[in-house]
């Protein structure tokens, strides 16, 4: 059974940066698609960024140019570097894995079946 644990969330002022990390244990999905998603209370969870086994990435339009997703398959870690943060980035961020795909990844929440518990990111204006 895979366990995904996020860390690195916190509070920051607009324009600041945070780096989120996700560590996998158990069945680590070391080569499968992984991604970051976020959710605000009362709204649907949305895709932020995903990465395939070879480092190919896909970003939501709202974070392009500001966020960078990366992975270390040997260490079973996933990171999200978030720069130029905006108040609208405030959300709970989750890492997730899509066990059925590895070379082409999508931002669709429903494709991901392994989830962490999430870490809160709060950006103040």
The pLDDT tens digits of the residues spanning 44-76 come to 999 999 999 999 999 999 999 999 999 998 899
Query: How high is the pLDDT of residue 31?
Result: 87
Q: Where are the alpha helices (DSSP H) in the chain?
A: none
Which tokens belong to 70? 């990366």
Which tokens belong to 96? 């997730």
Band of pLDDT at residue 26, cut at 50, 70 and 90: confident
Q: What is the dihedral of CA 74, 63, 41, 36, to 10 degrees?
A: -10
DSSP per-residue string spanning 17-35: -EEEEEEEESS--SSSEEE
Measured CA to CA, the distance from residue 36 to residue 80 in angstroms comes to: 7
**In contact, 82 and 36? CB cutoff 8 Å:** no
């Amino acid at each position: 059974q895979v366990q995904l644990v996020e860390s690195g969330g916190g509070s920051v002022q607009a324009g600041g940066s945070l780096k989120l990390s996700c560590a996998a244990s158990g069945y680590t999905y070391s080569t499968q698609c992984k991604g970051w998603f976020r959710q605000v209370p009362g709204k649907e969870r949305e895709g932020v960024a995903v990465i395939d086994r070879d480092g190919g990435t896909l970003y939501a339009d709202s974070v392009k140019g500001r966020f960078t997703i990366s992975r270390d398959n040997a260490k079973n870690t996933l990171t999200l570097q978030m720069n130029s943060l905006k108040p609208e980035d405030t959300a709970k961020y989750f890492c997730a894995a899509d066990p059925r795909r590895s070379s082409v990844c999508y931002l669709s929440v429903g494709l991901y079946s392994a989830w962490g518990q999430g870490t809160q990111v709060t950006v103040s204006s």
